[in-house]
Amino acid sequence: MTHRIAILGASGYTGAELVRLISSHPSMVVTGLSGDRKAGMEMADVFPHLRHIALPVLQKIEEMDFSGVDLCFCALPHATSQAVIAGLPRDLKIVDLSADFRLRDPAAYERWYGKPHAAPELQAEAVYGLTEFYRDEIAQARLVAGTGCNAAAGQFAIRPLIEAGVIDIDEIVIDLKAGVSGAGRSLKENLLHAELSGGTHAYSAGGAHRHLGEFDQEFTRAAGRPVMVQFTPHLCPMNRGILASVYVRGEPEAVHAALARRYAPEPFLEVLPFGTLPSTRAVAGSNFVHIGVIGDRIPGRALVVCALDNLTKGSSGQAIQNANLMLGLPETAGLMLAPLFP
C-alpha cells in the first residue's frame, strides 16, 4: 500500500531532502507540495536535482487539498509552522520539522523563541521526535515535532550516559561543528560562499543557541533533576554534517559500554570501537549516526564524538523514520541508503 504524502515548505532544503528520500521510499508517494513564494513553479526549476521525479506543481498552502493525504510533513520556518498547523484538518497526521513543537513547556518556548506560542493545545499534544527515545509515543502520535539537528547530535551522545549514570551531569561541554545547510536556503551575508568557505568560527555562543532549550528539557527529563550543559556551535565550510565533540567526566570504558549497549539494537546508530572517532564525511547523505569514545590522558575524562547529517538524520530522515512509525511501516523503510563518499 502506498501512502499519500504532502510536504509544506518544499522549496527549502529540508523539503527537498524529504522529496529525495521519498523518491526511493517503497510505500510513500508525494501528492502535494507547497512553496509559498514559488507557488506555480515546477520542483525541477526550484531544485534541478529532482528533475527526474514526477512531482506535483508547487501550490500555496491554502490551495491544497488534504483529503486523501495520509501524512503531512511541515518544513516551514519557525513560527509560521504553528499557525499553519493550527489550520490543518484535525485528523491529519503531521510531522513538523520546525522548532515550534519541540518544547513542551509554554514558558520555555516563550523564553527561547521570544514570544508566546500561538497554538499551546497543539504544543501539548506534540510528541518529541527523537525516534530512538520516543518510539512508542511517536507510533501513537498524530503530531510529531522533529528535533533540532544539533539537539539530536548532542542527545545521541549524552542521553544514554545520563540514563546509565556513568557521567557527572553537571560537567558536560558540547563543542559542535555544523555544516551550513542547517541554516537553510536563507539569504544571509554570512552564508555566502565567499564569506564561509575556507574558514570557521563560533556562533550563538555563550548559551544563546535555541537548541539549548531542547537539551535542558530532555536531559532534565532523563536525569530526573535539572541539567544544564555548556554548548558552542561552530560553522564549518561543509554543506552537510554535524560533529558534536562532547567532553564528559566518567570512566571512558564505562561511557563507551553504555553507548554500545544502548544502541546495539538500533538500526541507524553505530558505536565505533573504543578509541575510534567518527567523521561527518562517513555519514553524509544518510540516516546513520556514528559515535566514538576515547579516554583522555587525564583520568576520569572522556570525549564522545557524534557525527550525523543535519539534513537527513538531523531533520528529514528523522522525519521519515517517525512517519514510518506513525503509518505502521517498517521503521527503516526508505532510509537504508548508504552515505555518499567521497
Judged by beta carbon, residue 16 or residue 144, the one nearer its own copies is 16
Question: Which residue in the set 29, 39, 50, 254 belongs to the binding site for its own copies (CB under 8 A)?
Answer: 50
User: In whole angstroms, how close is the CB of 137 to its own copies at the nearest point?
Assistant: 26
Q: Tell me the C-alpha distance between 82 and 76, whole Å.
A: 9
Give 270's strand partners. Answer: 290
Does 53 interact with its own copies (rule: CB under 8 A)? yes
Does 303 interact with its own copies (rule: CB under 8 A)? yes
- The x, y and z cell numbers of residue 75, run together, are 518544513
Between the alpha carbon of residue 312 and those of residues 42, 122, 148, the distances in Å are 23, 25, 12
Does 265 interact with its own copies (rule: CB under 8 A)? no
Q: Tell me the C-alpha distance between 238 and 179, whole Å.
A: 5
Q: Tell me the C-alpha distance between 239 and 248, whole Å.
A: 28
Judged by beta carbon, residue 94 or residue 172, the one nearer its own copies is 172
How large is the C-alpha radius of gyration of the chain?
A: 19
Judged by beta carbon, residue 144 or residue 243, the one nearer its own copies is 243
CA nearest neighbour of 203 among 182, 229, 219, 217: 182
Give 231's strand partners. Answer: 174
Residues 186-205 close enough to bind its own copies by CB under 8 A = 187-189, 191-202, 205
Q: Tell me the C-alpha distance between 21 and 52, whole Å.
A: 14
User: In whole angstroms, how close is the CB of 317 to its own copies at the nearest point?
Assistant: 12
User: In whole angstroms, how close is the CB of 196 to its own copies at the nearest point?
Assistant: 4
Does 173 interact with its own copies (rule: CB under 8 A)? yes
Told to judge if 236 belongs to the known catalytic residues of this protein, a careful annotator would answer no
Question: Which residue in the set 88, 138, 284, 326 belongs to the binding site for its own copies (CB under 8 A)?
Answer: 284
Does 238 interact with its own copies (rule: CB under 8 A)? yes
Catalytic center residues:
149
